[in-house]
Amino acid sequence: MKKSERSVFRRLIENDGVQTLLASLLCILGGLLIGYIVLLIIEPSAAWGSITAVVKNFLRYPASLQGKYLGQTVVRTVPLLLCALSVLFAYKVGMFNIGAAGQYVIGACATLYCAIALKLPWIVCLLAGAAAGALLGAVSGVLKTLCNVNVVISGIMLNWISLYFTNNLLSRNGIKRPTGPETIQLINANPKALLPTLGIDRLFGEKSAGIAIPLALVIAVLVWVVLNKTKFGYELRATGNNPNAAKYAGMKENRNIVLTMVIAGALAGLGASLFFLTGLVDWETSISSVPDMGFNGIAVAFLGGLSPLGSILSAFFIQHITSGGGGVDLRFYSSQISSLISSLIIFLCAFVGFFKLAIQNRIRRNDEKKAAAQANGSGKGGEGK
């Protein structure tokens, strides 16, 4: 009886997914703990209240408003998830798509230009965003295959190029508000461009919540299916794991690399479309740094164990604490402190692999000890095996 219980536990702990989940939870706890210590050092009296506010996020509001703030968190989760999918898709093929940030920016640019300047309907804007991201990804992919330029280098360059291009284009008359740095609100400029809500807005009590949410989930599942169940995914992962073996097996590695970057770029670009077409926020043409959505996508992908499905959970969590960061007590802490705490957790997320290894080592050491103890217990005389 006891033995079978043990084996269920063993099977659970030896499962790769369970190990990833455990490691991720450890990272989160570590990040929160260090964040709490920082708060304690700055101002002990308000530290507990602030750290709980970060963890609670929407739950710190009265019940009637919780749905609305939950809705906003979910709406912001969508682009984060898409950027994470972009990063992990390229990662499986052996490339580090730090350019997801730029692909996201150029996606926003194309989407908003189509929506505000050209007054096109939402579906066209959506596809334009994906296409723009794909194009930028293709540039990185082609540079990699033709000139052997590392996608990290080309990605970082293209991030800045896309940012300034976007700021320039969206600052034009008729796109930017005359009174401020933001683009004109979609509801005024072109209501057809707003994503359909399918009643999801009423569910949350938040008007920006809509079709983007189920769409993002479907895309995550699709990415998982493509990577794990199809011939295309088999080729891509082989190319990522061992390009020489892929070539030896007659796969077209160059085509696969470009195609991967196109898909990764399209995912990031689509993330921007699915965010800006909700009307929750507008593009700020005065920003001078690349939005961190793409970079956070890297953290989300790793926290999610580089699995599309794990990324759904980790994207929501990261967005949850980022939004929750707004709840720290601003009488004692500067407003940047919320970013600091979420950054700490995101930073710790890079250690998922490390914690996973630690868990595996622990299991192994336990096994060795047990084997030794068993051998000693069963007598040293007859080892017939």
Partner 1 sequence: MDNTPYAIEMLNITKRFPGIIANDNVTLRLRRGEIHALLGENGAGKSTLMSVLFGLYQPEEGVIKKDGKEVQIRDPNDANDLGIGMVHQHFKLVECFTVLDNIILGVEPTDKAGFLKKDEARKKVLELSERYGLKVDPDAVVEDISVGMQQRTEILKMLYRDNEILIFDEPTAVLTPQEIEELLKIMKNLAAEGKSILFISHKLNEIMSVADRCSILRKGKYIGTVDIAKTDKAELSRMMVGRDVEFVVHKEPSKPGDTVLEVSGMTVASKVHRNNAVKNVSFRVRAGEIVCVAGIDGNGQSELVYGISGLEPLVSGSLKLCGQDITRAPIRRRSLAGMSHIPEDRHKHGLVLDYTLEDNIVLQRYFEPEFTKMGFLRRKNIRAYAERLIEQYDVRSGQGPATVARSMSGGNQQKAIIAREIDKDPQLLIAVQPTRGLDVGAIEYIHSQIVAQRDAGKAVLLVSLELDEVMNVSDRILVMYEGEIVGEFDPKKTTVEELGLYMAGAKRMEVGR
Q: What angle do CA 23, 26, 32 make, to 5 degrees?
A: 145
Give yes or no for residue 250 binding partner 1 (CB under 8 A): yes
249 counts as binding partner 1 under rule CB under 8 A: yes
C-alpha distance from residue 118 to each of 175, 189, 379 (Å): 10, 10, 84
Q: Which span (20-28, 241-249, 325-333, 341-349) binds partner 1, by CB under 8 A?
A: 241-249
CB atoms within 10 A of CB 32: 18
* 76 within 8 A of 65, measured Cβ to Cβ: no
Among 248, 286, 353, 362, binds partner 1 (CB under 8 A): 248
Site size toward partner 1, by CB under 8 A: 29
Q: Does 232 bind partner 1 (CB under 8 A)?
A: yes
**222 binding partner 1? (CB under 8 A):** no
Q: Which of 56, 192, 207, 237 binds partner 1 (CB under 8 A)?
A: 237
| Residue 223 touches partner 1, criterion: CB under 8 A | no
Q: Which two tokens stand for residue 214?
A: 């189920």
CA distance 376 to 379: 6
Taking the complex as a whole, the smallest distance from the CB of residue 269 to partner 1 amounts, in Å, to 24
Q: Does 6 bind partner 1 (CB under 8 A)?
A: no
Q: Is 57 exposed, middle or buried (0-12, 13-18, 19+ CB in 10 A)?
A: buried
CB of 241 to partner 1, least distance (A): 5
The encoded tokens of residue 7 equal 């084996």
- Per the document, the length of the chain is 385
Judged by CB under 8 A, the residue of 241, 335, 336, 378 near partner 1 is 241
Question: Is position 244 an interface residue for partner 1 (rule: CB under 8 A)?
Answer: yes
Site for partner 1 in 322-381 (CB under 8 A): 364, 367-368, 370-372, 375-376, 380
Pattern 95-114, partner 1, x by CB under 8 A: --------------------
Nearer to partner 1 (CB atom), residue 12 or residue 25: 12
DSSP 193: G
Look up residue 320 and give its two tokens: 């949850």
Which is it for the CA torsion 113, 114, 120, 126, positive or negative? negative
Give dist(CA 29, CA 44) in Å, integer.
19
Q: Which is nearer to partner 1, 249 or 350 (CB)?
A: 249
State the helix-helix crossing angle for 100-112 and 63-92, rounded to 10 degrees: 120
Query: Which residues form the interface with partner 1 (CB under 8 A)?
Result: 229-232, 234-235, 237-238, 241-242, 244-251, 364, 367-368, 370-372, 375-376, 380, 383, 385
